[in-house]
Amino acid sequence: SSSCVAHVALLPSAGMGHLTPFLRLAAMLCHHHCHVTLITPKPTVSNAESNLLSKFFSAFPQVNQLNLHLLPSSHTANADPFFLQFDAIRRSCHLLHPLLSSLSPPLSSFVYDMTLISPVLPIATAIGVPHYILFTSSASMFCFFSCFPNAAESISDRDGFDIPGFSYVSKSWIPPQLLDKNAIFRKLFLEDSPKVTKLHGVFLNTFEEVESKTLEALNAGELVKDLPPVHALGPFVPCYEFEGLCETGEPLKWLDEQPHGSVLYVCFGSRTALESNQIREIGDGLLRSGFRFLWVMKGNKVDKEDEEKRLEGVLGIELVERIIKENKGMVVKEWVDQRQILDHSAVGGFFSHCGWNSVMEAAFYGVPILGWPLAGDQKVNAEFVVSNGGFGIWKKDWGWEGERLVRGEEIGDAIKEFMSDESFFAKAEQVKMAARKAVSVGGSSKINLHKLIEEWKK
């Protein structure tokens, strides 16, 4: 009956880019009075993940936590630690069946990460509940994912792909790991993609106002026959209850003292640590631009392994002295509360790697983006900023991470061009209005989520 409560199980994968949207979705479901079970693969790769999980469980004590104790990955090569973790989680999914089949009240639905389709599918089917993936990128990228096995054959002979409602995706924008025949990620894509037709649906952290044509094409079966419904539920609203427990902190205090819209916030995501010569060029570029900046600098891919606490160690003493002398910028090595920074009125631009969560957060807070896509889906995301909202730019000749050394002069010029162009602010403001509308009462994403929950209660 409709008085029943829906019980939803959620299974995220590795890295903040996957965990954060799952926790935001979990919070939304709690606010809609669902009963939520969160499966937590242990141990996590980064401290950032374990910290966020503890904050989440203290803010939402009603959420049922199930630990998934991971078996080791089968790969030992010096691959990306987050990809190794994807593999370890995949290898441990068979442990889920006893955990999930004995839940009380019984499950009404199961939402799992986009990287777990093959191993979870038989379990979700055996339990017999409607099950969905959360695809943690754009609708455009989902088009690419669902067509990939067909395209992969001819990938080396083609210049690129057409995505409905989106610009032409040239070959140089395709995630490099998908072109590498031995990459774990490519194998995973090839194995999982044909199985999307077996799902009950696909959830996306996007909204109809910015990707309407792409979503319509997907839902009309134009790309893949028998594709299940694709539901745009975003942008996932950052949740003060678990993400905003530390409202102070040096970066925010510093921002309070800066003029309105004057600061460029610089952050290349939780998984990228650039080479130190590239980091120094960025510092040089920031200083050359003459604009104020707040720079989150990561010296290591995995925060647990980052032992170098001093800035001089990575930036070099000379650059640190220049930054101090100019007195226009702040550099931090610690995890910051990006949500609060983007929400701060002193921030006028975001120099970003265009991880999808960052792009959606910038949209939600109306901050224009200067994109520097470094890996994965980020070039497609950067192009989204340009062509689906017009709230920023990216420099297509900068290449992937480490492809070439991008000089301070180029970076400084790009920052000047970007920060001086008022039109991006106006565009970002429009995107923000559309984003807010989508998630408020009567908005497209809000309605989409509500319909799903009603179906689960039946």
Enumerate binding residues for ligand BUP (CB under 6 A): 15-18, 20, 267, 269-271, 296, 335-339, 355-358, 361, 376
Give the CA radius of gyration of the chain. Answer: 22
Closest approach, Cβ 142 to ligand BUP, in A, equals: 14
Nearer to ligand BUP, 283 or 376 (CB): 376
Strands 131-135 and 160-161: unpaired
Cβ proximity to ligand BUP: between 20 and 138 the closer is 20
Question: b/e map of 409-444 (b: 16 or more CB within 10 Å)?
Answer: ebbbebbeebbeeeebbebbeebbebbbbbbeeebb
Q: Which is nearer to ligand BUP, 107 or 367 (CB)?
A: 367
- Cβ closest to ligand BUP, residue 121 vs residue 141: 141
**Letter for the amino acid at 203?**
F
Kindly state the smallest distance separating residue 104's Cβ from ligand BUP, in Å: 33
The residue type of 83 is: F
DSSP single-letter state for residue 385:
I
Q: Which is nearer to ligand BUP, 7 or 18 (CB)?
A: 18
Grouping H, G, I as helix, E, B as strand and the rest as coil, residue 353 is coil
Minimum CB separation of residue 358 from ligand BUP in Å reads 3
Asked if 314 and 279 count as a contact pair (C-beta separation under 8 A), the reply is: yes
For 254, half-sphere exposure in the C-beta direction (CA atoms, 13 angstrom radius) is 20
- Using the Cα atoms of residue 399, residue 402, residue 406 and residue 408 in order, give the sign of their dihedral: positive
Nearer to ligand BUP, 92 or 378 (CB): 378
- The single-letter code of the amino acid at 196 is V
Cα 282 off chain centre by: 23
**Quick one: 20 or 73, whose CB is closer to ligand BUP?**
20
CA distance 278 to 289: 16
List Cβ neighbours of 453 (8 Å cut-off, separation of 6 or more): 6, 29, 32, 34
Give the C-alpha separation, 360 to 141, whole Å.
14
Closest approach, Cβ 210 to ligand BUP, in A, equals 16
Q: How near is the Cβ of 17 to ligand BUP at its closest, in Å?
A: 2
What is the nearest approach in angstroms of ligand BUP to the Cβ of residue 355? 2
**64, β-bridge pairs:** 37
Q: How far apart are CA 231 and CA 215, in angstroms?
A: 8
Closer residue to ligand BUP (CB): 343 or 413: 343
Residue nearest to ligand BUP (CB): 17
Residue (100 or 202) nearer to ligand BUP, CB? 202
**Helix ranges (DSSP H) in 60-159:** 81-92, 96-101, 117-127, 139-154
> C-beta of 159: minimal distance to ligand BUP in Å?
26
Q: Which secondary structure element, helix H or strand E, spans residue 362, and what is its range? A: helix 356-365
Catalytic residue set: 18, 113
**Partners of 170 in the beta sheet?**
160
Rounded least distance, CB 22 to ligand BUP, Å: 11
CA 344 to chain CA mean position, Å: 21
- Min dist CB 267 to ligand BUP, Å, is 5
Q: What gap in Å lies between CA 406 and CA 439, rounded to an integer?
A: 38
Question: Which residue do the tokens 């604009």 mark?
Answer: 291
Closest CA to 341 of 239, 420, 253, 431: 253
Please tell me the number of Cα atoms within 13 Å of 68 on its side-chain side: 29
